[in-house]
Amino acid sequence: MENIVNVKINGKEYAVPAGSTILEAARYAKIDIPTLCFLKDLNEIAACRICVVEVKGARSLVASCVYPVNEGMEIQTNTPKIRESRKTTLELLLSNHDKKCLSCIRSGSCELQALCYEYGVEDVDRFKGLMQDFPLEISGEHLVRDNNKCILCRRCEAACRAQHVEVIGANARGFDTHIGCAFEKTLAETACVGCGQCIVACPTGALRERDDVDAVFKEISNPDKYVVFHAAPSVRAGLGEEFGLPIGTNVEGRMAAAAKRLGFDQVFDTNFAADLTIMEEATEFLQRVKNGGKLPMITSCSPGWINYAEHFHPEFLDNLSSCKSPQQMAGSVIKTWFAEKNNLDPKNVVVVSAMPCTAKKGERLRDGQSAAGVPDTDYVLTTREFSRMIKRAGVDFVNLPDEDFDPALGVFSGAGVIFGATGGVMEAALRTAADVLEGKDLSQLDYHAVRGIDGVKEASYEIAGLTVNVAVVSGLANADALLNKINAGEADYHFIEVMCCPGGCVNGGGQPIKSAKVRNTVDIKTLRASALYNEDSGMKLRKSHQSPVMKMLYDEYFGEPGSHKAHEILHTHYSAKPKY
């Protein structure tokens, strides 16, 4: 039986688990104590002082996010003293804050703004004085940092540290304290991997993605351009949240309908390219197994992971699959096969992707990503940017009817759908590799051992007389630990899936931003992943190699998986980069 302690909260008695903080104990009483710097298991530093409460016998207000309960403790969470303290703290934060809320990207979803409203902060100039004036940090392809809106909560720093990247932190002291890189380097000069986890952790508008909405609208309006849109699997599992729908709502049909109303010339699904990735990746894996190639083979569809490997683990670059990511494969096919089939000049074809990932913005600029002599991808929109396009165009997203993607690149398998969840790429590859090795259509479709949001998953499968050892990791800290085990000779795998973001792409840095209250209490990753697995389980076509689009592309264009032409168009290369 779980150990409990008895406490009084606002005069009422509650039994709560021993070891709880006051913040956690209050939730058992259905009382929400506000926070700003706190993120469960990520940033528990009691810096902002918004969560202060009164404890009988304590000499001063205490920070509930770190203060443990004990037997008989008496707690008050809503006294005049507490309310005044929180309001004063908010006014002090505003004294050095850029208050251009009406035009801020986070207006309406800013945690500071919400608290100021709740506590009736009207005199924003009460502590008026000297204010910092920081230039925008715009060196990175994926991110803009505006320290004029920063409240020094350190949530971004904690997110970067949790990813084992640690390129940002607090510089200087006192009034001059600000978030930056070591020695005031620009972000582009560091080993930042572009994951964007700092953005989704930020409670204000201090961090945001580089916005391409206006540029994409301009391309759509250009009569000389043929603009093609495609959306990743995780976008359908997150986009609805931007329009008030429950977390985990699959809005695939409405997403396609909305894109068509924005004026794109073609609307495809990145899932076809996920199937194509499996065709090439599974073939590459089988060739390595049969021919004594470099093992373990490691997936390459997560650009944040690729950046991390190049900076921090270059000894594994030969282990990486040479396959481009689904985003880049989609662009390659659109600007080669599709352009040729429709008599289009690739120079006039504009490929726009909607992705759950900020690292995708940098991926489009990598070497080896120009199959037709021009970039495979021209613009990358995060899920948030795509939602802003829809809103700006006046499209009634919630009430849209479901519509299909355009043929022929709108047909895909369930294996392509689950790419967005950690373990999905591995499961999709196993479905195809097992059929090829066994030489028949196997009935096994679900590989449950590699599913779920655990950071590290391991499994062994007997396929055609071979024991195939696989591992699935998400989050770069877990990837780092696994690679160190391999280097130490403590682990032996044939195939490894790595996703940069914890939980996979459904939890990417470009997905809808949820408040700390939601992040601390709701299993967002599982809800979004369930949308993808539920779609997969209801589909008739669940294996990539059985997709009619794959048959068409290889019959008409590539010849066979792993062919010379496929390598020219669908594969890439990597290079080591400085760690610091």
What does each of the 580 residues of the chain score in pLDDT, given as a tens digit? 469 999 999 999 999 999 999 999 999 999 999 999 999 999 999 999 999 999 999 999 999 999 999 999 999 999 999 999 999 999 999 999 999 999 999 999 999 999 999 999 988 888 888 889 999 999 999 999 999 999 999 999 999 999 999 999 999 999 999 999 999 999 999 999 999 999 999 999 999 999 999 999 999 999 999 999 999 999 999 999 999 999 999 999 999 999 999 999 999 999 999 999 999 999 999 999 999 999 999 999 999 999 999 999 999 999 999 999 999 999 999 999 999 999 999 999 999 999 999 999 999 999 999 999 999 999 999 999 999 999 999 999 999 999 999 999 999 999 999 999 999 999 999 999 999 989 999 988 889 999 998 999 999 999 888 899 999 999 999 999 999 999 999 999 999 999 999 999 999 999 999 999 999 999 999 999 999 999 999 999 999 999 999 999 999 999 999 999 999 999 999 999 988 7
- The span from the CA of 316 to the CA of 574, in Å, is 10
In this prediction, residue 441 carries a pLDDT of: 93
What would be the CATH architecture of the domain defined by 214-570?
Answer: 3-Layer(aba) Sandwich (3.40)
Tokens of 163: 């990813």
- The span from the CA of 91 to the CA of 85, in Å, is 10
> Is 4-78 a CATH 3.10.20.740 domain?
yes
In this prediction, residue 125 carries a pLDDT of: 82
Q: What is the pLDDT of residues 535-549, one digit of tens each?
A: 999 999 999 999 999
- The span from the CA of 302 to the CA of 283, in Å, is 19
In this prediction, residue 579 carries a pLDDT of: 82
Domains 94-208 and 214-570 equal at CATH topology level: no
Cα angle at 64 between 59 and 68, to 5 degrees? 85
Cis-peptide, bond into residue 578, ω within 30° of zero: no
Place of tokens 């049909």: 253
Say if residues 302 and 440 touch (Cβ distance below 8 Å): no
Q: pTM for the complete prediction?
A: 0.95
CATH number of 94-208: 3.30.70.20
In this prediction, residue 1 carries a pLDDT of: 44
The length of the chain in residues reads: 580
Q: Where are the domains of the chain?
A: 4-78, 94-208, 214-570
- The span from the CA of 256 to the CA of 404, in Å, is 6
What burial class does residue 271 get, using C-beta atoms within 10 Å of its C-beta: 0-12 exposed, 13-18 middle, 19+ buried? buried
φ, ψ of residue 43 in degrees (nearest 5): -140, 95
In this prediction, residue 458 carries a pLDDT of: 96
